[in-house]
């Protein structure tokens, strides 16, 4: 397939996860009467200026689908699906872009 799609359930689960992480980062808000309360979703969106996790994952998956469908002679396609030759460096392997895409797909329980 040229692109992969997220189901509404997966998008909702990702948004819930992102809001939970943001609530943990920003913490509760103190009201005028001295009580504490959790931040609402719209307050979290106003505090966090980066794009949502759903948008980032969708753009990665769209790009990966586009590259997979390319002709095998294209450089980007060879980099994504090719196997390197030669000796590998010592130490822990560096995380590749493809590893991030696979992890994103695994996190949302989609086979990739």
Q: pLDDT by residue (tens digit) across 48-92?
A: 888 888 888 888 888 888 888 888 888 888 888 888 788 878 888
pTM for this one? Answer: 0.58
H/E stretch holding 63: helix 53-68
Average pLDDT value for the chain: 85
Residue 1 domain-assigned? Answer: no
- Tokens at 55, concatenated: 């948008």
**What's the structural domain count of the chain?**
1
- Tokens at 49, concatenated: 């200026």
Residue 68 domain-assigned? Answer: yes
Contact between 98 and 68 (Cβ < 8 Å): no
Contact between 81 and 97 (Cβ < 8 Å): no
Q: Name the nearest CA neighbour of 48 among 57, 37, 35, 39.
A: 39
> pLDDT-based confidence at 26, cuts 50/70/90?
very high
Is pLDDT above 90 for 103? no
Give me the pLDDT at residue 61, please.
Answer: 85
Q: Which domain holds residue 31?
A: 8-83+93-111
Residue 88 domain-assigned? Answer: no
Residue 61 domain-assigned? Answer: yes
């Amino acid at each position: 397939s040229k692109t992969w799609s997220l189901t509404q359930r997966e998008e909702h689960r990702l948004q819930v996860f992102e809001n939970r992480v943001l609530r943990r980062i920003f913490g509760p808000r103190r009201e005028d009467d001295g009580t504490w309360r959790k931040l609402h979703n719209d307050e979290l969106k106003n505090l966090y200026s980066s794009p949502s996790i759903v948008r980032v994952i969708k753009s990665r998956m769209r790009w990966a689908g586009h590259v997979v469908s390319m002709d095998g002679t294209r450089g980007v396609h060879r980099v994504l699906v090719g196997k390197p030759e030669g000796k590998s460096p010592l130490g822990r392997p560096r995380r590749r872009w493809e590893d991030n895409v696979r992890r994103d797909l695994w996190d949302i329980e989609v086979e990739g």
